[in-house]
Each structure stands twice: as structure tokens, then as C-alpha cells.
Amino acid sequence: MTQVQASRLQLEQDLLKAQQGWINTIHSLFMSSLGILAGMSVMHIILIGAIQDPVKFLNMYVPFAMIFNLIFLILTNFCVIFGITIALITREKANERARQLDKFRHTLGL
């Protein structure tokens, strides 16, 4: 193996390692956003199910309703963005693997 081939192989390995780091980070952020959303939803269901006095509940919930709503919207937007990103990454990785399996990938394919 020549020096140029060795350096190119090292560069490709470094790029793949950096790419894997980004993929893991995006996946972790996506899963944590989904977990927080699920937890907030379950807490709302339990809170609403435990209502005994609606007036008392409204007096307690109204000051926090806007904050909860904003957090839900922000986390939902993050989940949509991260979900689309993961879908695009998965599709691109599947295409890369398919290109590697195609023995005619260097031909024009006419």
C-alpha cells in the first residue's frame, strides 16, 4: 500500500468515526426528547385523572399552562426535526450499502 492510499484510508476512517459520533448524538437527542414528551404526557393524564375539584385545579394549572404548552411545542419540533434527520441518515446509509454491493457501480449502467 502506498503512502497516498494509506493516508486516504486513514482520512476515510476518521470521517466515518466523526459521522458515527454525529449520528449517535442526534439519536440520543431524539430519544431523550421523546422520553421527556412521553413523561410530560403521562403526568398530564395522571394530573387530569386526579381532579376532584375543577375550580381548585384551574386555579393551580392556569399559571403554568403557557409554560407547559411552550415546552410541548419546542420538544415536538425537536422530535420532528431529529426524526426526519434520522430517517434521511438511515436512507443514505442504506443507499451507501447498496452501492457497495453493486458490482457494476463504476459502469454507466445503461
Q: What is the pLDDT of residues 2-28, one digit of tens each?
A: 776 678 778 878 888 888 888 889 999
DSSP string, 52-97: S-HHHHHHHHHHHHHHHHHHHHHHHHHHHHHHHHHHHHHHHHHHHH
Using alpha carbons only, what angle is made at residue 20 by residues 101 and 93, rounded to the nearest 5 degrees? 30
Statement: residue 73 has pLDDT above 80: yes
The predicted model scores a pTM of: 0.70
The reply to whether 109 falls in a domain is no
Q: What is the pLDDT of residues 30-66, one digit of tens each?
A: 999 999 999 999 998 898 888 888 888 888 888 888 9
The residue among 106 and 19 whose pLDDT is bigger is 19
Residue at 12 is within a domain? yes
Alpha-carbon distance of 14 to 22, in angstroms, equals 13
Number of domains in the chain: 1
- Quick check: is 73 in a domain? yes
In a domain, 110, yes or no: no
Q: Which range marks the domain in which residue 9 is found?
A: 3-101
Report yes or no on 107 lying in a domain.
Answer: no
